[in-house]
Amino acid sequence: MLEFQNVTFRYPEDKEPILENLSFQVKDGDFASIIGSSGCGKSTIFRLINGLEKPQQGQILVNGEPIEKQRRYTAFMPQKDLLFPWCTIEKNLTLPMELQKIPKEEQKKQCTAVLEQIGMTEYRNKYPRELSGGMKQRVAFARTLLAGGSLLLLDEPFSALDFLTRVEMQEWILEQWSYWNKTILFITHDVEEAIFLSNIIFTIQECPFSTMKAVNVPLQYPRNREDLRKSDITQLKETLIRQLRKKEML
């Protein structure tokens, strides 16, 4: 699904590249997370995948094709919901389809289907100010789905939510991932969140970095919170935390 081939990138204001000769792969259907300390380059990876930045060398492929030759291959969900407050929920959802010039009848059909799946049909004529934080993030995820990409990039989408809402959204996002059969690349600072959601976790331990250590999570889907208490999972959590703390102390 996604492949970095010896990618090097440096911001113009920096003397050294933030990532150098980076290669990694995300398989079709994966729920993959990237964890690392602040400023290590996690969001830079997303900017490169989206084409907002261009690598100095190397190549990025999605479904085996260079991203420069593709359109609508990915969709991005940022930390904030970024819903337009003056638009209804339905209007917020149909906006990406309007930009794609999809006929209005098809827009309505797809909007209705996604609202039914996320359990928010009765909110289609509401405005963002009338929704809770968790509801807004559900709508933001639905809008990401309707943007049309098969690869979803989620950048700490639950970081601003309270603990209980965050737990509920983690469980909810796994249900949506399973239903829509998308590939997800997820950025988080929360090691436990990465373990609960992902089948594979990439860790950034250096800056600049040329490799990301890949760790397979030994849990099957579907999952529940009790799985996090298993001895091998608690050990994995402590190992990942030690790795990240070691990097921050350097």
Domain coverage including residue 142 = 81-148
List CB contacts of 202: < 8 A, sequence separation 6 or more.
24, 32, 33, 34, 35, 212, 213, 214, 215
The answer to whether the predicted template modeling score (pTM) of the entire model surpasses 0.75 is yes
- Checking if the pLDDT of 84 tops 90, the result is yes
- Checking if the pLDDT of 248 tops 70, the result is no
> Is there a single domain that holds both residue 54 and residue 172?
yes
Question: For residue 243, what pLDDT band results from cuts at 50, 70 and 90?
Answer: confident
Residue 21's CATH number: 3.40.50.300
> Is there a single domain that holds both residue 63 and residue 165?
yes
pLDDT tens digits for range 170-226: 999 999 999 999 999 999 989 999 999 999 999 998 877 888 999 999 999 999 999
Would you state the pLDDT for residue 188?
A: 93
Task: Select from 130, 148, 166 the last residue of a domain.
Answer: 148
Question: For residue 246, what pLDDT band results from cuts at 50, 70 and 90?
Answer: low
> Is there a single domain that holds both residue 100 and residue 185?
no
pLDDT tens digits for range 120-147: 999 999 999 999 999 999 999 999 988 8
> Is there a single domain that holds both residue 161 and residue 236?
yes
> Is there a single domain that holds both residue 67 and residue 155?
yes
> Is there a single domain that holds both residue 106 and residue 159?
no
> Is there a single domain that holds both residue 49 and residue 114?
no
- The count of other CB atoms within 10 Å of the CB of residue 215 is 19
Number of domains in the chain: 2
